[in-house]
Structure 1
Amino acid sequence: MTNTVVSTAPETTLAAVAAALGDKAKNISLALGEVTVIVTAANYLEAARILKDAPGCQFEQLMDVCGVDYSEYKMGDYDGLRYAVTSHLLSVSLNQRVRLRVFAPDDDLPVVDSLTGLWGSANWFEREAFDLYGIVFEGHADLRRILTDYGFIGHPFRKDFPVSGHVEMRYDPERGRVIYQPVSIEPREITPRIIREDKYGGLQ
């Protein structure tokens, strides 16, 4: 005998989330069968705690946390806050999901609360968002780079970060160690060749 798990309808999830969060939710939307909640930075931690514990929500698992840079959103026409953190939550007991988004109130120093006190799985996800976007998670016990090198300069997923980076490293046999130096690759735009010959490469 097998047990069949029935997914909770997104409309039911939306209603439960809206009832639990009340005015702590800035916006709740349903698109493509997915519920997205936007909260302010001041309400982020408390909203996450409610979503974890409230009846009808019970999002026991945090599946992912990622940073977002909106500076080039809508071809640069976007005029809202630049950095956001998006968390994806899963309720195993109710078989439902929700996306929780918060915008950092300061573009120059993006800071939001850490969720590590609620879900241990937030640890490395938040370190990744810090490393790649420079988003600081207040209350994180060990916020340091996780993917780039200790000597890395900048945050490579920011839209204004150069594709070639700022520095490159190589092994120097004379010094017997790895050294860092300014990038030697010239930035250039590569335009693919357009082939117009009818029989190019023996094709008929």
Structure 2
Amino acid sequence: MTNATAQAVAIAPEALQQTVAEVLGDKIKKTKLEHGEVTVEVAPADYFEAMQLLRDAPGCRFDQLLDICGLDYSAYRDGAWEGQRFAVVAHLLSVELNQRLRVRVFCADDDFPVVATLCPLWSSANWYEREAFDLYGIVFEGHEDLRRILTDYGFIGHPFRKDFPVTGHVEMRYDAERRRVVYEPVSIEAREITPRIIREDNYGGLH
């Protein structure tokens, strides 16, 4: 087997889990192997240093940051969740070693969720973190241009939070007479959606 072929063979998830545990040591709070994928959880205080180790350590070499997303656990398990409300999940890829890793960090403060930015490690973190800030209100400390990226600059709130109303707070439209965008109270009336019941006799006797 050539070196190129050997590098293309993905490492076993169990071996990756062990390697990551050795590299991060006591920076790991939890680790899980599920459906062939490894997930590790680190504390917010260790987040940046842990990610730098995962990028640079010989057995890891996660040179690509594929995605960062926010999570709101306030309604998780029908509201029975007792941990921190907000989390950030990063997905890493090592092209050299053909392996993937998921890293999760919970924000320590539910009222002001904040974690370190990963922009100094991966430039791709820039827009991913702006999206998580826009939709969840998670602040990435050290980000040089943390502003909304999907919603309007005057948007109120963070629409992916579980307590954000489905109809939103205001409506936005362009007013031709005033020649500008205006914000108005929501005009959509709330309605109760009743599930449709499908009965056997509706199938016309087909079985």
Q: Same fold (TM over 0.5)?
A: yes
1:61 and 2:64 correspond: yes
Q: How far is the alpha carbon of 1:171 from its aligned partner? A: 2.4
Match of 2:33 in 1: 30
Q: How far is the alpha carbon of 1:195 from its aligned partner? A: 5.9
Q: Which runs of 5+ in 1 are unaligned?
A: none
With 28-37 and 137-146 compared, the bigger mean Cα shift is at 28-37
Separation in 2, partners of 1:89, 1:197: 49
Q: How far is the alpha carbon of 1:203 from its aligned partner? A: 9.1
Root mean square deviation, CA, Å: 1.9
Amino acid aligned to 1:123? N
1:108 and 2:111 correspond: yes
Separation in 2, partners of 1:166, 1:199: 41
Number of residues of Structure 1 aligned to a counterpart in Structure 2? 202
Query: Stretches of 4+ moved more than 2 A in 1?
Result: 171-174, 192-200
With 103-112 and 20-29 compared, the bigger mean Cα shift is at 20-29
Matched residues, percent identical?
69
Separation in 2, partners of 1:55, 1:197: 62
Relative to 1, partners in 2 of residues 1:93 and 1:199: Cα closer, same or farther, differing over 3 Å?
closer
Relative to 1, partners in 2 of residues 1:184 and 1:21: Cα closer, same or farther, differing over 3 Å?
same
Q: Of residues 126, 131, 148 in structure 2, which corresponds to 1:128?
A: 131
1:139 and 2:142 correspond: yes
Q: Does the residue aligned with 1:26 lie in a helix, a strand or coil? A: strand
Q: How does 1:91-106 map to 2 (within 5 A)?
A: 91-106=94-109
Q: Of residues 104, 107, 122 in structure 2, which corresponds to 1:119?
A: 122
Separation in 1, partners of 2:179, 2:97: 58
1:16 and 2:28 correspond: no
Q: How far is the alpha carbon of 1:185 from its aligned partner? A: 0.8
Relative to 1, partners in 2 of residues 1:174 and 1:47: Cα closer, same or farther, differing over 3 Å?
same
Relative to 1, partners in 2 of residues 1:93 and 1:191: Cα closer, same or farther, differing over 3 Å?
same
Match of 1:181 in 2: 184
With 77-86 and 162-171 compared, the bigger mean Cα shift is at 162-171
Match of 2:157 in 1: 154
Amino acid aligned to 1:82? R
Separation in 2, partners of 1:31, 1:199: 42
Amino acid aligned to 2:132? A
Q: Does the residue aligned with 1:18 lie in a helix, a strand or coil? A: helix
TM score, norm. by length of structure 1: 0.93
Separation in 2, partners of 1:195, 1:50: 55
Q: Considering fraction of residues, name the structure with more helix.
A: 2
Separation in 1, partners of 2:134, 2:68: 13
Separation in 2, partners of 1:23, 1:84: 20
